[in-house]
Structure 1
Amino acid sequence: MTDKLQALDFIRDVEVAVSVELGRTRMPLRQVLELGLDAVVPLDRQVDELLDIYVNGTAIARGEVITEGDRFALRIVELAGDRRQGEAA
């Protein structure tokens, strides 16, 4: 296993885009154009659901928001590979 990890050493410094999806919704463009200050947009996710974590647009994990000092942070709770194994069982 360590040989495989060492083989990846040359790409460890490549920067990737990491994003977290809070939720989604669909609405007509008319409604989007009507959005203003204090508008509320309901999302398709419950408060206690884990958030999806993407690297370059590919889901790699799920996690929960935490605070670290005066900033938001993310705690990884489930890796995508773990989720697939759990679904197969």
Structure 2
Amino acid sequence: MTFQPRGFDFLKDVDVRLTVELGRTSMKLKDVLTLSEESIVTLDRMTDELLDVMVNGKLIARGEVVAQGDRFGLRIVELLGTEPDAGPAPAPAPKRAAKGDAS
């Protein structure tokens, strides 16, 4: 019996964890213990900044929150790694002959 998957189609049903990060903050434990239902925690992001979208902890995109009916959603604005190249990669520096090598 030979197993020959077609491309990466066999990976399409693998579960992954998608996380959207609104922001971060650092707090002392004593401050965390004083949080209540009406507490406000200030995050390190501005309201107009894009949110980080991660798959299994790896940043893959940035997006913005949208309201869709009575639920929140996420509009992907930027996929990472899809920006066009800024031009050809610089050519590697020529190797120098090591001491004792023939020139």
Deviations 1:11-57, CA, capped at 9 Å, x for gaps: 00111110100000001111001111211100000000000001011
RMSD (CA atoms): 1.5
Match of 2:60 in 1: 60
Percent identity reads 57
Alignment of 1:73 onto 2:73: yes
Structure 1: gaps spanning 5 or more residues: 1-5
Q: Give 5+ residue unaligned stretches, structure 2.
A: 1-5, 87-103
The whole-number CA distance in structure 1 between the counterparts of 2:74 and 2:48 is 14
TM-score by length of 1: 0.84
Find runs of 4+ consecutive structure 1 residues off by over 6 angstroms. none
Instruction: Identify the structure with bigger relative contact order (alpha carbons < 8 Å, sequence gap 6+).
Output: 1
State the TM-score, normalizing by the size of structure 2.
0.73
How many residues align? The count is 81
